[in-house]
Structure 1
């Protein structure tokens, strides 16, 4: 990772990830297992909690420093063209606040503007999953922090739930970040298969109703949002 970033000529700093299995959630975790069980029908895994805590700490840093950040996970490959997308991000982040620079699945999108060098700013109508790389403004960080007083879902699902925190799901495409383990199921999807057989009928019905509510709110946001 260090070699890739040095080759791009970008300034960077590494931050140690939070390891929930080593008790590193103390002082940062806002996890409510009862609410997670109510909404999802299963608890978050230690890996999901550690990932959430790691990103949460960087949101805190972004908000307190007053400077935008590009947040990258370390299991990625970066192509040289990323420098162009990075430059576009710097010019746009104060206006759009949260810009995805990687996504794990293809989603329906709306083209917002042409950026040059073959890049476009788009807005996803449904979240693309993943937290491999995204840019965040201090205002965007404060919105995410305000929405994350209680943790009940995986962090990429929080980013994708734009109708809850008000940060529309913008992205600069094409992506120049590749997840090093293509085909791996996003963390936010694990629960759907891992716990499906363990859920009671009541929990499965409640989960279905919750998702229906989310879909309605997402569609309403997309209908009325002005780009």
Structure 2
């Protein structure tokens, strides 16, 4: 796959997931580099320094888990590497996904476009309304035919970061916009009305989460909003209203 390194984010001790990804990537003829993930259960003070608790509570609505911060940093450091090593485009995979047989051809077709309009193409989505669209908003607008599907531009957020292509200009945008951590990395990128990274997705969606591999993020304790002061709740409501208006006014 010319001019496109493939990075697989994997906790070094997680040999089962590593073997899973190594096996399917080899079967599909993909040469990948395994990149050590940031272990959210062993965050350093430096790791935590970028976490903006006040903004997190206002925008995300609840404290982030340490594992969410670790996941964020794992992707963010790849963006730093893309800029540092002058990598024009990269394919980034998490280690709990299943790749369709058509996956290599889809990536080849996307990379073959000499003047792509996209900065990031998501190849997986965790959002059910995007996976099973019932109207044009969630289906998106087709922009390019591929041998095994079609590239769509969406008018809504995608959710999910299991597999995506990212160009260096988008990596630079994320380094700037996302330098303060305030929500999970996929949701940070989904805020297109602020970061100007428009959402693109391939259909049929070629990558899916493995249901038999437990999430390394972990479950959030119940009652996450319980006991929050009214002043914070008012700020959260104002933030949601502001985001809603900004999304509607964004010039797609």
Structure 2 length as normaliser, TM-score? Answer: 0.79
**1:123-143: CA deviations, max 9, x gaps?**
121112111111101111001
Name which of 16, 23, 27 aligns with 1:7. 27
Aligned residue in 2 for 1:121: 151
* Residues 158 and 126 of structure 1, relative CA distance in 2, 3 Å threshold: same
**1:10-54: CA deviations, max 9, x gaps?**
121000110132135625851111322233342111011001100
RMSD: 2.5
Name which of 27, 52, 63 aligns with 1:43. 63
Higher helix proportion (structure 1 or 2): 1
The CA distance in 2 between the partners of 1:175 and 1:194, in whole Å, is: 33
**1:96-154: CA deviations, max 9, x gaps?**
11110100113313223242324111112111211111110111100111101211111
**1:178-219: CA deviations, max 9, x gaps?**
10138x99x7x969x651223233322221221111111112
Q: Is the 8 A contact 2:106 2:146 kept in 1?
A: no
Aligned residue in 2 for 1:147: 177
Q: Is the 8 A contact 1:18 1:25 kept in 2?
A: no
Q: After alignment, is 69-78 or 203-212 more displaced?
A: 203-212
Aligned residue in 1 for 2:97: 76
Aligned residues: 220
Which runs of 5 or more structure 1 residues have no equivalent in the other structure? none
The secondary structure found in structure 1 opposite 2:36 is coil
* Residues 9 and 195 of structure 1, relative CA distance in 2, 3 Å threshold: same
The CA distance in 2 between the partners of 1:25 and 1:80, in whole Å, is: 42
Q: Is the 8 A contact 2:124 2:207 kept in 1?
A: yes
Name which of 202, 205, 216 aligns with 1:172. 202
Which runs of 5 or more structure 2 residues have no equivalent in the other structure? 1-20, 131-137
The CA distance in 1 between the partners of 2:51 and 2:91, in whole Å, is: 25
Structure 1 length as normaliser, TM-score? Answer: 0.87
Aligned residue in 1 for 2:121: 99
The CA distance in 1 between the partners of 2:60 and 2:41, in whole Å, is: 22
Aligned residue in 1 for 2:37: 17
